[in-house]
A and B are shown apart, each in its own frame.
Chain A
Amino acid sequence: MIQKFLGAFIAALASALVLSGPVAATPAKEAPWLPEAAAYRLTLFLGNLEPLPWDDVGTAWAEPYRGSEFSVGALAWLDRESDIGPGSLLDAITREDRQAVFAEGTRLIALRIEEELDQAIAAEDPTHAQQAVWTARELYRAFADGIAAADPDASRRIGLAWLELNSSTGSAGVLGAGATPANRETTEAAREVISGYLAENYLVDDFAPRRTLSALPETAVLSGRTIEVPPSLPPGSDIFDQDPLPRLVLNFEEQGIDETDLPLVAYGDMLFDSAQIFGNPAQGLGVACSTCHNRSDVNQRLFIPGASHQPGAIDVDGAFFNPIFNDRRDDPIDIPSLRGLRFTGPYGRDGRFASLRDFTRNVIVNEFGGDEPTPFMLDALLAYMLEFDFLPNSMLTPDGQLTEAAPEAAQRGEAIFNTPFAALGDRSCASCHVPDANFLDRQAHDIGSVAPGYEGARAGALDTPTLLGTAYTAPYFHDGSLPTLAAVVDWFDETKSLGLTEEDRADLTAYLETVGAADEPYEAFDTENTAFRLAFAELTTFASTIGTLLPRRDAEHILLLTDTVAADLSADASTMSNLPARPEVYALAERLAAVGAAVRADDWKAAEASWTAFKSEADAIEERAF
């Protein structure tokens, strides 16, 4: 039934992520979670953060998760749908008893599965039985990755039991025709497989203490074995690229130079899109530089519960990505744009890194737990990132003056922007946001936008940000606390007592919006010029550096490339609108994987043959790659 398919497709899919080998940077969308399963998964995730955000745990049960299709949270849902009371769970949350919250939450989900299975067995007609089976299975999803990681045989047995259960409930047919009766014996036998496992592993009176909260079955935990559960993000997370996608302006490209003729830049471009340079969990989740910095800009939708306080913000020195780098401060920052990067140093919101190379290494090693990058990798990343240009804006001259194309209000606002105010120490806005220096001064100032961390702290100075391109990077300030450029103007007027009239504020806002504007801020896609075509062009460009690396017999960097690009090419094919051409793209990805396999086997002749085949096949299918 196509309706069923599309209903699920919109919310998109993929409940059980089976991660093996290189991980693509194309994240899999998830099916919506049932409210109580979502709350449980959020609890497991938040419960592993230090310090543990107890308020967020309470909210996880009280309110619908971010982006939920359900209008109510887990508690109201349970009240409506279940006879199981959440009293002891809520009590454990109130007591801030982590182990008890884990135990009560786990038992609650297991009991809910049992409750739905009871209803499936008791149902008088197939429709209601199947609804109950469906619900039970959606709840089981909260445990599924833990079981699959710890006990593949059990995972398989239970998977078959769900199939048996659904099949044996029979069918109501359609309008009375084609009805088939239930097979009660099979239903009960299949149910027993699931219930038996739950009893042994999730309906336990006294769970062993958990250092890390996860959905691992109790028997696996008691065995003492080391079991890696693939990293996952909790319900409500969003690491997809923003839509519309920012337009990337690369200096060399605007000059008509082909990236394939700039192998160091192309390799850096690949690294910017590679999760392989980070450690887990970022690597396993497919998080790359470009996840936050879409096309050198920002990602306004990025959100990870417990690490983001609002969309487009992330705490990169929190507990999640690299615990050793956890500063134990809840201080997510709004993702900054990297446009014009060669003009915007020093780096970091507070300008703490004078060197982009040092900053980049810190991102890879400390923020995202990656291995020490090679000098070649850092050279490549820098070579690429230093090509990021600001967006062309025909309302602005190269030295930052408005052109005639700028609206009148902006012209009036320009005068205010350049007016010194006594309240600013006889400085103007332009004193720091210097128009002929890309609207920044490369200095850090304390403008009072950072709450001091302790009494007497002098840590509120932040690097002056450029105003270029800011019309598309809301919200504003380091913490994203101001939603619009008008709010920024209001903030300065009010906190600095500038005494602006309403008209002045409107004009100054118009000026900021004009300076921050662009002729073409976003990538334009149509039926054939699709996001996949863009990805295909990028990935084949990345691959082109193999032509440089193969003669150098540079196995390390070839493998980093093939692992990244082959997996990405294959995963990105899922976004193609030209579905019939997908198999060709899969075959192309395999060619590239074969280059890597040959290099691993030290068979350079085979690697060169696969590389030659890749190039000709890529050229052949380019037209169909949309």
Chain B
Amino acid sequence: MPVHLTRRTILTLVGAGAVSLATPLAAQDVTLRLAFIPQENPDKLLGDIEAITGWLAEEIGVPVEGFVTIDHAAAVEALRNGDADISFMGALPFVLAEAEIGAVPLLSEVYRDAPSYTGRIFVRRDSGIGALADLRGRDIAFADPISESGYLYPLAEFVEAGLVEGPGAAEEFFGRVFFAGGYQQAMQAMAEGLVDAAGASQYADLLLTPQQQAEVTWIAESAPIPSHLVIARPGLDTDLQARFVDAMLRLNAPENREKLRYLYGPDGYVRADSAAYDGVRDMARQYGLLR
């Protein structure tokens, strides 16, 4: 997934000083460092980080700082060398980080009451395409080659249906396979008729105009994909980790929900269930991403 970084926002640091000095952890001069993966507008992210780290510092009682890293790899590197204690992360990079540095899952994001979502294959309603097999020789746009719901899981539906032999063989079934750069770009390409189908998150049609939404439908849906997480570096102080998790879970309270928009906008968080990510681990192995 491409991210949009300005040239001067890589590894920008936003600190929040509000702490209660009476807490034992603060007395030990502990600072909790959070790594954030940028979305399309890091300018906005910096403001969001300042708001959320300020709140977390008050809740946890230690100073909290936020970093913006260039991508998942940089965030994992920061966790590995101790520059970051906590990071926000997608499911796939998490299972790789877990294998590589022993990263610990703490919290999973919740959307529409579930810590999971799916990927779908969308087509235009007037296209006459009703089944995956109808897409033989036709063009498809996916979001990104490392996107769970925008490529890996939707493609697995073609494999499951016996139409695509396996990862890497998609080109033999389709006409053209494009990686559009994001859900919205893939969906727009399909809605405008540049391609015949799009593989994207189950909610991606909501990114189209209301008129376009009425013109598209979906013909296949993937298995549930566990949602994005908040993970910790191995060896992070267990008390600090627990206080962080408790604070994050307080974001589910009605009076705090407004602050979720500073954190990629989930509906809430639940404690992460590592077993829920087994499917992603399998998928990563299948695609040769994980040994």
Contact = CB atoms under 8 A, between A and B. Distances in A.
B121 to A, nearest CB: 16
A444 interface: no
Interface stretch (B128-136, B145-153, B157-165, B251-259): B145-153
Given A2-B228, A574-B206, A10 B265 contact: yes
A562 to B, nearest CB: 15
Contact of A26 (B2, B184, B210, B284): B210
A166 B214 contact: no
B2 A134 contact: yes
B8 A171 contact: no
A131 B145 contact: no
A32 B43 CA distance: 12
B227 interface: yes
Contact of B146 (A8, A137, A171): A171
Contacts of B2: 127, 130-131, 133-134, 166
A601 interface: no
Interface size class of A (residues with CB under 8 A): 35 or more
Contacts of B92: 174
Interface stretch (B19-27, B65-73, B236-244): B65-73
Contacts of B214: 570-571, 573-574, 586, 589
B178 A167 contact: yes
B41 A177 contact: no
Interface in B106-131: 109, 111, 117
Interface residues of B, number: 78
Given A3-B39, A134-B40, A571-B210, A178 B8 contact: no
B72 to A, nearest CB: 6
Given A3-B264, A18-B212, A130-B181, A175 B6 contact: no
A9 B206 contact: yes
Contacts of B266: 6
Contact of A2 (B194, B217, B227, B288): B227
Contacts of B88: 3
B211 interface: yes
B182 interface: yes
B138 interface: no
Contacts, number: 203
Contacts of B4: 131, 134-135
Interface string A79-91: 0110000000000
Nearest to B142: A167
A572 B288 CA distance: 43
B207 A13 contact: yes
Contacts of A26: 210
B210 A570 contact: yes
Given A127-B3, A176-B73, A5 B181 contact: no
Q: Is the interface of A mostly helix, strand, loop or mixed?
A: helix
A583 to B, nearest CB: 7
A61 to B, nearest CB: 17
A113 interface: no
Given A8-B183, A166-B181, A178-B288, A80 B8 contact: yes
B96 interface: yes
Given A2-B109, A2-B228, A173-B146, A28 B40 contact: no
Contact of A15 (B37, B109, B180, B188): B188
B29 interface: no
Contacts of A521: none
B178 A69 contact: no
Interface in A169-207: 171-178, 180
A163 B141 contact: yes
A355 interface: no
Interface of A: 1-10, 13-19, 24, 26, 28, 31-32, 69-72, 80-81, 127, 130-131, 133-135, 137, 156, 159-160, 162-164, 166-167, 171-178, 180, 567, 570-575, 579, 582-583, 586, 589
A-B pairs with the 5 shortest C-beta distances? A130-B2, A571-B210, A7-B39, A14-B209, A574-B210
